């Protein structure tokens, strides 16, 4: 089992005729994702990677039965792409596009929410259910099917930590890159109940960074409502004061939004925090249930 995406996910790609859309269409298909079509206004009737191209999302959903969209359109067209998705019966929209104006995202998010459509992103690497399906740009080769859920604000750190886990024999259930913008559609707090309900997830890795309080909110929720353990990594211990570090949301607004402050708070709540990404497998081995010390048939170090 997994969260958000699985074998029943049918994906259309908004922007499939562009460079990035076409490239990642092939990569997603090669991983086993059920890509059923794409959308580029004015290019209906063409094919990309063997998939039909439609002029509108409405056409694509009607003809293919798609329930998920991934967006690769340029930032200046992203709001329209999101609003078009919001007008269709899609269950999930993953927006990879970065640099979308915050007000555009707010408007689109409200429209998607009213339609009952979940947004992941924007400015995110997407979602991968290891060995089953991927929607987005995560590199397939780093994943190994297993029982650890991952949720992260940083794409690059996601890849580094997933690879450290895989190299240590620890597989993943679902990995979600939530994005690093100030306004995003899905936060840690939204994912935690899903991981708790997933019988194939035994532990969770949270990858955070400076700025905001989402990591602390998630930790408090976990301690009050969940049975599954979590370890964390918080980027930005050496971030200069007043500097935004890569993401629009990674800007410290107060002392309680620094990496050091977050680490202290998380540890006070009993959540182990790695100081370097390579420590994640060791910390997981210390908190994983005994029955989970074999993941995909490979012993976990220390298990």
Q: Which residues are catalytic?
A: 247
Q: For the chain, how big is the Rg over CA atoms in Å? A: 19
Nearest alpha-carbon partner for 103 in 248, 214, 245: 248
What distance, in Å, lies between the first and last C-alpha atoms of the chain? 23
CB hemisphere CA count around 44 (13 angstroms) = 10
- d(C-alpha 286, C-alpha 199), whole Å: 20
């Amino acid at each position: 089992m997994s969260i958000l995406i699985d074998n029943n996910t049918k994906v259309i790609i908004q922007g499939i005729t562009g460079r990035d859309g076409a490239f990642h269409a092939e990569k997603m298909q090669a991983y086993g994702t059920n890509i059923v079509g794409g959308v580029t206004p004015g290019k209906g009737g063409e094919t990309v990677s063997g998939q039909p191209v439609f002029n509108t999302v409405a056409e694509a959903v009607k003809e293919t039965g798609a329930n998920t969209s991934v967006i690769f359109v340029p930032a200046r067209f992203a709001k329209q792409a999101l609003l078009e998705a919001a007008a269709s019966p899609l269950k999930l929209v993953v927006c990879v596009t970065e640099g979308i104006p915050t007000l555009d995202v707010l408007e689109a998010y409200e429209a998607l929410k009213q339609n009952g459509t979940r947004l992941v992103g924007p400015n995110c690497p997407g979602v991968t259910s290891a060995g089953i399906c991927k929607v987005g740009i995560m590199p397939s080769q780093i994943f190994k099917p297993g029982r650890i859920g991952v949720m992260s604000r940083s794409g690059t750190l996601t890849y580094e930590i997933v690879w450290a886990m895989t190299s240590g024999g620890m597989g993943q259930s679902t990995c979600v890159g939530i994005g690093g913008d100030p306004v995003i559609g899905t936060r840690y707090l939204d994912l935690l109940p899903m991981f708790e309900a997933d019988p194939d997830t035994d532990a969770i890795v949270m990858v955070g960074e400076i700025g905001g309080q989402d990591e602390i909110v998630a930790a408090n929720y976990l301690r009050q409502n969940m049975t599954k353990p979590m370890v964390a990594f918080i980027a930005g211990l050496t971030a200069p004061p007043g500097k935004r570090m890569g993401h629009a949301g990674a800007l410290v607004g107060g002392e309680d939004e620094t990496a050091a402050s977050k680490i202290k708070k998380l540890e006070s709540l009993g959540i182990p925090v790695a100081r370097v990404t390579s420590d994640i497998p060791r910390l997981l081995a210390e908190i994983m249930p005994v029955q989970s010390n074999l993941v995909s048939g490979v012993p976990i170090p220390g298990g």
